[in-house]
Structure 1
Amino acid sequence: MILREKDYIQSTHPQIAAGEKQEKDVAFYLRREFKNEESILILNDLRINVDGENAQIDHLVVYPYGFILIESKSVKGEIKVNKHGEWTRSLNGKWSGMPSPLMQAKLQRDLLLKFLIERRDSIYESKFLGLIPQGFGGRQWHSLCAVSSNAIVERDEIPEEISEQVVKSEFLVAKLHEIMNLNNSIIKKLIIDERPWFSAAVLTNIGNVLLQHNNSICKEALKPVNELQGQVPVTSTPESTNTVLKSSNDTVIKCKKCHSDANLTANYGRYGYYVTCSSCSCNTSMKSKCQSCNSSQTRVQKRKDIYSLICNECDSTVDIFLVSKGAKMIS
């Protein structure tokens, strides 16, 4: 059952368009396979917030035995992962490091678990006895990285555990069935399958809690992003007010004049996104060098109330500005 479809960005930028296509492809495979499966819940482009920390999950699968988080990555070249779990990719014949999608999924998983635990009472409406534990930590938790079908994955040197988590889009559904290993027989569930499982009512509550929370923090309609300077308005217009953004690696947008990170207003003008300091009225561009590879070939993308810095060289993405004051990001 598809509980949430993905919000798509209309972009002429090749990297953004490729990333959107990859997420769209993964969502298509999930929808085609599971749209009529009431015991399998699919939430695409899910956002959650816990104690000022935010996470954006590309695709979440909730099934009777647990959760599967899927990170979509658009890769046209090759991917390598060394024994330390460090990722590299080729782009136009050049190799560069990239953030680990699986480490990214782990951070999202930790926040999702915390989110569910805090809402345990509303999810479990009654107390059960017997062998079914009332919790989430003992459930099945898996993470996958779904890469483009035309990517080349160098599996000879990838650690086996990581290799099992990297899958091309067209093989994703088969991998999900392998992980879920579902059987609709109640007798087999109770006697043979020792995994704790969610009842239909609890599964429904989990889906409803996640969906309602996502909707509460994504009130602003998705707006198309145009990165071409020649097509942006000459006159700047305010985007948001009184905002402070911190990213997961403690990068903070500060006023270039007074160095304050408070009382900043996000704007969009002739040269792209920038912030205005209410203390000194100075304007500061949101664009900066990539924190992963130090490349200056970066761009700022806005998705709803979140601004992200995207590197055209290594394809890394860091959330750098959020409309909600004081929010920390786990992207």
Structure 2
Amino acid sequence: MIVKEKESPRPTDAMGKAGYEAEKQMAFFLRRAFAESPDVMVFNDVMYQRNGERAQIDHLVIHRFGFVIVESKSVTGTVEVNEHLEFVRKSGGRRSGMRSPIEQGRLQAQLLQDLLNDAKESLRPKKLFGKVQPYFGDERFTVFVAISDQGVIERNGANPPELMKAERVVKEIVEKTNRYQQTQGVKGLVNFLAAGKEKTKELEEHQVAAFTDAEMESIKAFLTEQCKATVTAKRPTRTAVAAKAVTAEKPVREKKEVAAKQEIAADEAGGASPSGFKCGDCPSTDVEILYGRYGYYLRCRACEAKKTVPQKCEVCGSKAKLRKKGNRFFRDCESCAAPVLLHCNPVSAENV
């Protein structure tokens, strides 16, 4: 059963598009395998929140015995994992480290587990005449990392069972649920009696009670509502967006007005500079901005020392452009649209 399809819009940047396609591919594999299964529920692209923390899960699969978190990764080259479980991307002859997707999935699983246990009384009724409250234990949560078709996995000294190609994930989920099934009822008892030491250990790891139909429905309804509530809380209202725009616009408008007054004042003052620039090699403040092979630079007219002109906006710290008007230089920032009168060259300066 597909409870939630992937609904997020396709990104426009290259990396976002690749990630989107990897998630879409995994969603296709899950739909093909479980769309008509009454015992498996699939949530694609969901987000949950607990105590101010958020977990965004690419694919969440709920089966009769637990939960599978699938983290999709788009890899066009090679992803390498070493004996320390450190991950490296290799593409086009370049190597770059990456955050462990296994740890990322485990953190998502932990938040989901805590969220479910917060509501365990309403999701799982008490047993043994109302004396024992079932909860959601660690043994019910599994993490898989799905590498897209075009990617290559290089296991350099480590072979984590969570890491696999996307097309393998469905088979692993089916095999996982089958191992749980082998511990149930009379058949499970027979399997325990006939098992050797290693097989007994495996059976014990999967010896959990199956969720009832009522519990499955309660879990589905709960997680659906939690996802909706998280998305609603994340999305700002139109009023809030408008208020933020007005608040942001005010200082920008004020800065533009100040810049216009600065231009007029500079004309009236005959070119006095507000910058406070001074030479770094000598105490002189007799400096000018000139244009050279690599762009604008600051030159001391006393000792001929040269240095680059800072490129950051004084208002927001973003990278800004230098604009020349006569002997005056303004800093224009595209991020906050705040022009600043930066420096006035001495009238005798020769600018090229």
- For Structure 1 versus Structure 2, the TM-score category normalised by the shorter chain is 0.5 to 0.7
TM-score by length of 2: 0.60
Equivalent in the alignment of 1:293: none
Task: Find out whether 1:86 has 2:86 as its counterpart.
Answer: yes
Task: Find out whether 1:203 has 2:216 as its counterpart.
Answer: yes
Distance (whole Å) between structure 2 residues aligned to residue 44 and residue 285 of structure 1: 38
Equivalent in the alignment of 2:164: 167
- Per-residue deviation, 1:64: 1.4
Distance (whole Å) between structure 1 residues aligned to residue 67 and residue 21 of structure 2: 24
The 3-state SS of whatever aligns with 2:36 is coil
When structure 1 is superposed on structure 2, of 56-65 and 135-144 the one drifting more is 135-144
For the 8 Å contact 2:77–2:91, the answer to whether it is kept is yes
Task: Find out whether 1:5 has 2:2 as its counterpart.
Answer: no
Q: Which structure: greater strand fraction?
A: 1
- Written as runs of structure 1 = structure 2, the 5 A alignment for 1:290-301 is none
Q: Which amino acid is the alignment partner of residue 171 of structure 1?
A: R
Gap regions ≥5 residues in structure 1: 223-237, 243-263, 268-274, 288-331
TM-score by length of 1: 0.64
Distance (whole Å) between structure 1 residues aligned to residue 11 and residue 20 of structure 2: 9
- Per-residue deviation, 1:208: 0.9
Equivalent in the alignment of 1:127: 126
User: Larger radius of gyration, structure 1 or 2?
Assistant: 2
**Closer, same or farther in 2 for the Cα pair 1:144/1:278, shift >3 Å?**
farther
When structure 1 is superposed on structure 2, of 96-105 and 9-18 the one drifting more is 9-18
Q: Which structure: greater helix fraction?
A: 2
Q: Which amino acid is the alignment partner of residue 134 of structure 1?
A: P
Distance (whole Å) between structure 2 residues aligned to residue 106 and residue 278 of structure 1: 44
Equivalent in the alignment of 1:31: 31
Equivalent in the alignment of 1:64: 64
**Closer, same or farther in 2 for the Cα pair 1:191/1:120, shift >3 Å?**
farther
Q: Which amino acid is the alignment partner of residue 50 of structure 1?
A: R
Equivalent in the alignment of 2:95: 95
- Per-residue deviation, 1:203: 1.5
Distance (whole Å) between structure 1 residues aligned to residue 24 and residue 245 of structure 2: 29
The 3-state SS of whatever aligns with 1:39 is coil
Q: Deviations over 1:23-56 (max 9, x none)?
A: 0000010011001111111111111111111110
For the 8 Å contact 1:143–1:165, the answer to whether it is kept is yes
Gap regions ≥5 residues in structure 2: 192-202, 256-314, 320-352
Q: Which amino acid is the alignment partner of residue 15 of structure 1?
A: M
**Closer, same or farther in 2 for the Cα pair 1:81/1:21, shift >3 Å?**
same
For the 8 Å contact 1:65–1:139, the answer to whether it is kept is no
- Per-residue deviation, 1:16: 1.4
For the 8 Å contact 2:8–2:45, the answer to whether it is kept is no
Q: Which amino acid is the alignment partner of residue 50 of structure 2?
A: V
Task: Find out whether 1:46 has 2:43 as its counterpart.
Answer: no
Task: Find out whether 1:153 has 2:153 as its counterpart.
Answer: yes
Q: Which amino acid is the alignment partner of residue 158 of structure 2?
A: P
Distance (whole Å) between structure 2 residues aligned to residue 95 and residue 266 of structure 1: 41
- Written as runs of structure 1 = structure 2, the 5 A alignment for 1:229-268 is 241=240, 265=244
The 3-state SS of whatever aligns with 2:127 is coil
Equivalent in the alignment of 2:296: none
Q: Which amino acid is the alignment partner of residue 147 of structure 2?
A: V
Distance (whole Å) between structure 1 residues aligned to residue 250 and residue 16 of structure 2: 32
- Per-residue deviation, 1:177: 1.2
**Closer, same or farther in 2 for the Cα pair 1:187/1:284, shift >3 Å?**
farther
**Closer, same or farther in 2 for the Cα pair 1:118/1:89, shift >3 Å?**
same
Give the count of matched residue pairs.
Answer: 241
Task: Find out whether 1:178 has 2:175 as its counterpart.
Answer: yes
- Per-residue deviation, 1:8: 3.1
Q: Deviations over 1:95-123 (max 9, x none)?
A: 00001111111111111111001111211
Q: Which amino acid is the alignment partner of residue 40 of structure 1?
A: V
**Closer, same or farther in 2 for the Cα pair 1:188/1:201, shift >3 Å?**
farther
Equivalent in the alignment of 1:104: 104
Identity percentage over the alignment? 31
The 3-state SS of whatever aligns with 1:10 is coil
**Closer, same or farther in 2 for the Cα pair 1:24/1:92, shift >3 Å?**
same
Equivalent in the alignment of 1:247: none
**Closer, same or farther in 2 for the Cα pair 1:141/1:218, shift >3 Å?**
same
| RMSD of equivalent CA atoms | 3.5
Name the structure, 1 or 2, with higher relative contact order (CA <8 Å, separation 6+): 1
The 3-state SS of whatever aligns with 1:178 is helix
Q: Which amino acid is the alignment partner of residue 126 of structure 2?
A: K
